[in-house]
Structure 1
Amino acid sequence: MSATGETVESDARGAPGGLWWWSRRRSVVLDVVLALISAVECAIEGASFADEARLPAALGALLGLVIGSTLVLRRRWPIAIVLISIAITPAEMGFVLGVVGLYTLAASEVPRKITAVLAGMSVTGTLIITMVGFQRDMAREDYAPPMWVPPLVSVLMALGLTAPPVLLGLYVGARRRLVESLRERADGLERELSLLADRAAERAEWARKEERTRIAREMHDVVAHRVSLMVVHAAALQAVALKDPEKASRNAALVGDMGRQALTELRTMLGVLRADEGPAESSAARRDEPAPLASVAAAASAAADEAAGGPRLDGLEALVGQSRMAGMVVELSLEGDDRRYAPRVEQTAYRVVQEALTNVHKHAPGAEARVRLARRVSEVAVLVENGPSDRAAADAGLPSGGNGLVGMKERVTTLGGGFVSGPTDAGGFRVSAVIPDRAARAERAQAAERVVEPDEAARSV
């Protein structure tokens, strides 16, 4: 690993800056101390070698001092340090230089092939010099050991000076790389956890918005229709109160019934929401965890849609009857066999008809309307169409928030259906929706598979 890379990594981890190629100040101190030890050793051995070579001892000591001091560059140029130690092997000097240089080389990011070649050169050089020196010393002392002693001593000496620093350097380098990889993995996991937390917060916020939208849609469907009819009947009651007391009494009774129905639906919806705000949401609030909020919101939405008191398709005739009693001419057409669908499908179809009739009361007073419901095998088709408004009819003055069509489309598209609305050529307005029943489709597919399997078994027999 280069000094520049170490400095960059040190700065990235927030370590104190170093000098030149050192990443930390204590590394400077360590290398300077090792260089001083190596310089002293090489100076002593250099003087001894110069004396044997009949050269000035001061020259040998000075040369050894310079060569030993190069160890201070071991982190910057480890290959050069090892080559210097191999080059001075014949002078029998540089023990500290060679050992520390081999360790630094093995622990660095130098390719392993280069490390192996230099370690082999060091072993070979040490082996040869040791064998020559051993035989020379034995000749001086007039001692003739067995033939196997010089090679054995030389091999042990060469391996003892080379193998330990190389193996230790390889271990330290591998451990350093492992620690770096673990640190990078930990940083990556921390970033992933941060992203997951952000996504969880976004999902929680999305769930809150969806829940608010759903509650607003339910309130709109319940309040807008019932209250609109109540306003229409109240206007009719005001008009006939003095002329026809009996009709005024009936209208008053209808207003009371519609008010009670609206209150019942509101209580049912709010009761379901309160039931779903139980332990799960309170524990989430205590723990401040956003993820459970999404599940609570989804559960509340599903429970509210499938509430026992929710409207179903069998209540369409009563719904149309209320509009008729308010003075609207409504034609109801039911097609297909009487069958049951999933609660959300029937409730969505009911709400589409309800909102469409409410819009007729609001925007086309006195207009005739036609409601068509087609029951199919795996879907429900709804069509509500009204003619042009009767300008002679009294306007009830009902306010409009402009969210009715949006709410209908959201309900239908959530179930995977199609919704179309727009004016007709005759000057009226049309609302059309096709709502699939996925549960019925799944049952048909399973039934088809059960029928196909016996046929295939019979053909194979």
Structure 2
Amino acid sequence: MTLTPRRHDALIALAGLLGGLVLIAFGAYDRTDSVPRWAAALPLFAMAGLELFRRTRPVWTATLGGLVLAAGLVAGSVLATLVMYTDLLYAAVLYGPPRMAKVLHLTGGATTLVLSGLTALYAEVPNALLVAGFCGLIFLAPVWTADLLRRHQDRAEAERLRAEQTALLAEMDRRAAVSAERARMARELHDVIANHLSAIAIHATGAQSVARRQDRPADDPVVAALAVVRENSVQGLAEMRRMIGLLRRGAPAGPLAVGESGEESYAAPRLAALDALLDRARAAGQEAGLAFEAASSGEPGELPAPLELAAYRIVQESLTNAVKHAAPGTVRLRVEYRPADVVVAVDSPYREDAGPGRALHGAGAGLVGMGERAELLGGDFEAGPQDGRWRVRAVLPRETKGADG
């Protein structure tokens, strides 16, 4: 069990007090013939009481400890009292203000010189040398030790702060590099892909104008195909602008939306917009003989933005794959809101033979992307044929469990 600082100080005080009482009980203190035991015990109890505040009041305990030590030398010196006083000097340097080391060095050195000088003046030189060594052990040795330890601690703290600063600078450099790469990607998307999508939308609009001038009916397959091409190109351009805004701003962004004021805004995709996805899928899949149904259960509540974005993209990719690859029939979308997670399921008629023109370039990349989105949130994803239908199912937790969530 790890001791708290207060308990550690109490343990030191208790050990010093018990040790001193044992010495006093056996008469192991100075002037035992003239000093009663209770008089020798008084400085011992006072020094043990000061030990309780060695960490919180280091300056006061060292000052009062010197007075108690002087009283103990007069009343009858006990070794435990001397040892506890050295600990008070040690704690004053270690826990006190930085200038405390200099003060105690000066006072300890002066005390040693004065006492050894007086001894040499009124007694023999060997006695003066003994007094100098004894005073050095009492007044200087604990101060030197604590000062050395504190210097090591300060140096270690400075190294730790320097390491944190280096790590912070490295993180700032990494973020700057990521921002530069995001800006470069945004430029590439804008200059290449967005321009191509704009050209497709413009040509589709021009073709629709030509069809109107030729008085083609609205249900003409060519007119319907041009409408689908234009709508999807405009939607793709909006998504591209959203991604460019995301890369440049470094903040969550969604499909391009136009407010009542006509200003463009970027809002994260929400599951409430699934009806618009279904409408576009119905328009695109009508020629292939596809019908779309949607159902939901449970209470959505407050959903995290990453969850709604992942669910929206999974539904979008699933409906796109159904339009591309599904056999004629009904595509069913089901969203289940549960207390701990959200379940998204899409099943469509399974076509074993894609036929000419149905197996498009990049097939399979969408499934990988959907699986990665679910994995980043700590959810589960599965897709494959089952009972003659192609089933896609994703379970997305409301609380992110993935490492990169």
TM-score by length of 1: 0.42
| Structure number having the greater helix percentage | 1
| Structure number having the greater strand percentage | 2
Larger Rg: 1
